[in-house]
Amino acid sequence: MDRRRAGAALLAVAAGCSIRAATGAGPTASPPAATILPQPGPRDLCPVCGMLVARYPAWVAVARYRDGHAHFFDGAKDLFKYLFDLPRYAPGHRREDLAGLWVTEFYGLTRIDARQAWYVIGSDVLGPMGHEFVPLASRAEAEEFIRDHKGKRVLAFVDITAEWAEKLDRGQFDLL
């Protein structure tokens, strides 16, 4: 991102807009207007690690169920841990009852569909719980992020496994 776009982005964030909308970097990746996403409240805890989610707005991930209730996470990594072990983190919940999954995309700080996001691991950017699956809106942005932040690998949603989440916690970025 060049200095002009970065300056505009900072002003946009201060004004409450998305960086993407302010810089003309394409359409916003936020959910359609008909999909109003719940926001974490000041007391909402991540069901995986117990951290207060609202303290980390740049990392918020959301799992919303068909009945309208939602669980909030302080990063995509904890969202994935949750999804891979629902009986542990959400007894009585079923994956088929999920209405949607969203992550906060790194450059625009907008919520995007977690299933459509691209995730970079092994970068110099750490989330609230250390090494993180850094969500990006496109493969091109993920490749740019790798160059800018020394990332090691790009993963699609379908490529992420429980083993990847465990390895991230140990700072390992290969499945060998």
Q: Where are the domains of the chain?
A: 44-169
What's the angle, vertex CA 154, arms to CA 128 and CA 167, rounded to 5?
A: 55
What pLDDT, on the 0 to 100 scale, is given for residue 38?
87
Q: What is the pLDDT of residue 36?
A: 74
User: Rounded to whole angstroms, how far apart are CA atoms 95 and 59?
Assistant: 22
Residues of the chain with pLDDT under 70: 1-35, 176
pLDDT score of 37: 83
The whole-number pLDDT of residue 35 equals 60
- The pTM for the full model equals 0.80
